[in-house]
Chains A and B, each alone.
Chain A
Amino acid sequence: MMNAILFRCGLIGILFLGGPGQTAPTAQEILERADRNAVAGSRIAVSEMIIHGRRDSRSISAKSWVQGEDKSFTEYLAPAREKGIKMLKLGDQLWTYSPDTDRTISISGHMLRQSVMGSDLSYEDMMEDHSLVDLYHAEVAGEEIVLDRPCWILSLTSKGGDVAYASRKIWVDKERYVLLKEERYAKSGKLLKRLEVKSVVRIQNRWIQNSLVFKDALKTGQGTEFKIQTIEFDATIPDYIFSKASLRK
């Protein structure tokens, strides 16, 4: 699921090069290309989440199985307290299983706004599975260099549906169409979340943001770091993985 977080944030890029002499794409085209890069088939990944709290930092690692936009299954591997906790997302439903209680609980309603494992990410952030182009109007707000890469700055405004953030600002790599920075705003214009990519690597002919910091602007602390340790694309994932029964296994 942690890895799914990276994907839901639109943080996987497939190498995508625009040819020389092409005219500058429109905001809509940039967003569509960034969206297309965000999700790719199936993947199995082991990732690490380092939560920098006000008091100390702690690390949580997890293995995720992801199929498209709708299905994901995560098992937490460490630390000992979190080991064995599992999460299953099927469409707009989310369940969590705790081995200590041997209970499977559906996460819904206001629980979706709670922090995932104490990180700066909420379950609602995890549940985002629609492409940005479906939810937001886009316009180019400028250009900027991020991570030594020229980027377009897109200003996204909600089309009015049920979205967690009324507006967003995203920085998209001009060549790779990889999202390198993002800010998420409330309807009032207040900054709620900030995301900064720290490094991008190329794996299996895809550009992947393998390290990023996600920060809840309303929380104190230094934010949450996400790091991908291993990732395998287009892996075969048995169907039973994405079932409630697999939570108890």
Chain B
Amino acid sequence: MIRFLLKGILRDRSRSLFPFLIVAAGVFLTVAFFCYIKGAETDFVRYGANLSYGHVKVMTWAYQKEADQVPNDLALTGLSGLVAELRRTYPDMEWAPRITFGGLLDVPDEKGETKFQGPAAGLGVDLLTPSSREPERLELRKALVRGRLPAAHGEILLSDEMALKLKVLPGEKTTLIGTTMAGSMAMKNFTVTGTVRFGIQAMDRTALIADLADVQAALDMDDAAAQILGFFADGIYRQDPADAAVRRFNARTQDPNDDFRPVMQTLKEEAGMGYMLNAMTSMAAIIVFVYLLAMALVLWNAGLIGTLRRHGEFGLRLAIGEDKGHVYRTMIYESLMIGVLGSIVGTVLGLALSYFLQAKGIDFSGMLKNITLMMPTVLRARVTPMSYVIGFVPGILATLIGSAIAGRRIYRRQTAQLFKELET
């Protein structure tokens, strides 16, 4: 019977084309949007983890309370011991101490007087240890616009925008004016070796990236760091293992009155991150639901029109003795086939677009010129195993629901009236 119905669908396109197109279009949009949101979520988490938060982060309790002020006077001390302990306790994770700091970058003229000066948002990471994965996490090679990466102490990278503004070329000397851990003014000379562009507005304006040891020396933070970021070895954030690591670390015996005791938190506990991740998950579910609803309404309407148009056909089939339930069921089977066919075509098209977006992305940096939020300006889609099946939910359900509602008219037909109807 399936073959019979399939032939009917293919040969009588006026009966199936419109529902098929609706389903295909709806599924296409569902798959494309789902992949797009997954891509945005992945980018968001990856950027957030690699640039700022890690998958987990260790800092002092006092620093955690005032983290938005970047209070390096409340930084972790005894860094080497703490890192060794973390590596011993969590051998499957990678630990990277970092220092974020603010300051001014001063560019001297030939007399050594200030020529240009601008604010800098500094980041101290391990750039020089050969085994360090920090340059890779920050995608420094990819971000490099001019010059080269630092290869020795006293060398830094600047955001390209800032370098242009301060008229600094790779190879030129600058002076960082910052604040030491004790609060004194810190001044240290650095040579700019290269400029970088991350595609993240907040970093692209004022980023200054230096080796951790240089920043420790400049800010008088001997064996100290603002934070130690922890990363899962495969680079993928997973909530449950992150929660487990945090529970274990924070259960260590510590003096609860010590404001400088180290505490750990997950990426999701970062201000705004948990909300954003939950919002993105909810958004994916909402998109699927909205398309399901919209398509069901359209297909219901299409089903009603189809039922009206096939009024005579159903009457004839009932008149020659076909059971109402059978007619209804064949209609449902037909819609199921249309749903499956439409979903397959829609999924294929949606995946094609998503794979394209995964590879190329969409650059919307032009729309974010005045936004300081740290977020990627090139959004990419991500195709996940779920992407292959997500479209079938609204595609098939919508056609089934639409036909099931519209098909109820079959049961209202009066057998006694059928021949009269056929005569007219």
Q: What is A's interface to B at a CB cutoff of 8 Å?
A: 51, 53-55, 58, 60, 81-82, 85, 96, 98, 100-106, 111, 114-119
Most chain A CB within 10 A, of B74, B113, B177, B185, is at B185
- Known interface pairs A53-B73, A54-B259; A81-B112 also in contact (CB < 8 Å): no
- Contact partner of A103 (CB less than 8 A), chosen from B62, B74, B112, is B112
> Which residues of B317-349 are within 8 A (CB) of A?
none
- Contact B183–A100 (Cβ < 8 Å): no
- Contact B113–A54 (Cβ < 8 Å): no
Q: What are 7 A-B interface contacts by the 8 Å CB criterion?
A: A54-B259, A60-B184, A82-B184, A96-B185, A117-B185, A118-B182, A119-B183
Could you count the A-B residue pairs with CB atoms below 8 Å apart for me: how many are there? 62
Give B187's nearest chain A residue, CB to CB.
A98
> What DSSP secondary structure best describes chain A's contact surface?
loop
- Contact B183–A117 (Cβ < 8 Å): yes
- Known interface pairs A81-B220, A105-B114; A53-B187 also in contact (CB < 8 Å): no
- Contact B220–A106 (Cβ < 8 Å): no
- Contact B184–A81 (Cβ < 8 Å): yes
Enumerate chain A residues within 8 angstroms of B42, measured Cβ to Cβ: none
Task: Digitize B181-199: 1 where CB-to-A-CB distance is under 8 Å, 0 elsewhere.
Answer: 0111101110000000000
Instruction: Say yes or no: is B249 at the interface (Cβ < 8 Å to chain A).
Output: no
- Contact partner of A51 (CB less than 8 A), chosen from B74, B182, B259, is B182
Give A102's nearest chain B residue, CB to CB.
B112
- Contact B183–A103 (Cβ < 8 Å): no
Complex-state Cα separation, A104 to B187, whole angstroms: 10
- Contact B180–A105 (Cβ < 8 Å): no
- Known interface pairs A54-B62, A55-B73, A98-B187; A103-B108 also in contact (CB < 8 Å): yes
Instruction: Say yes or no: is B106 at the interface (Cβ < 8 Å to chain A).
Output: yes
Shortest CB distance B58–A (Å): 18
- Contact B183–A115 (Cβ < 8 Å): yes
Complex-state Cα separation, A54 to B175, whole angstroms: 29
Give A120's nearest chain B residue, CB to CB.
B183
Give B119's nearest chain A residue, CB to CB.
A110
> Which residues of B104-163 are within 8 A (CB) of A?
104, 106, 108, 112-114
Complex-state Cα separation, A177 to B379, whole angstroms: 68
- Contact A105–B220 (Cβ < 8 Å): no
- Contact partner of B189 (CB less than 8 A), chosen from A85, A101, A114, is A101
Enumerate chain B residues within 8 angstroms of A85, measured Cβ to Cβ: 185
Enumerate chain B residues within 8 angstroms of A58, measured Cβ to Cβ: 182
Complex-state Cα separation, A82 to B104, whole angstroms: 19
Complex-state Cα separation, A103 to B108, whole angstroms: 8
Enumerate chain A residues within 8 angstroms of B73, measured Cβ to Cβ: 53-55, 118
- Contact partner of B114 (CB less than 8 A), chosen from A60, A106, A114, is A106
Enumerate chain B residues within 8 angstroms of A111, measured Cβ to Cβ: 104, 177
Shortest CB distance A112–B (Å): 12
- Contact B106–A103 (Cβ < 8 Å): yes
- Known interface pairs A98-B187, A101-B175, A106-B114; A53-B182 also in contact (CB < 8 Å): yes
Complex-state Cα separation, A116 to B184, whole angstroms: 6
Enumerate chain A residues within 8 angstroms of B260, measured Cβ to Cβ: 55
Instruction: Say yes or no: is B354 at the interface (Cβ < 8 Å to chain A).
Output: no
Enumerate chain B residues within 8 angstroms of A117, measured Cβ to Cβ: 183-185
Given A96-B185, A118-B180, 5 other A-B contacts at CB below 8 A? A81-B184, A81-B220, A85-B185, A105-B175, A114-B179
Complex-state Cα separation, A98 to B188, whole angstroms: 9
Complex-state Cα separation, A117 to B179, whole angstroms: 8
- Contact B187–A101 (Cβ < 8 Å): yes
Task: Digitize B210-240: 1 where CB-to-A-CB distance is under 8 Å, 0 elsewhere.
Answer: 0000000000100000000000000000000
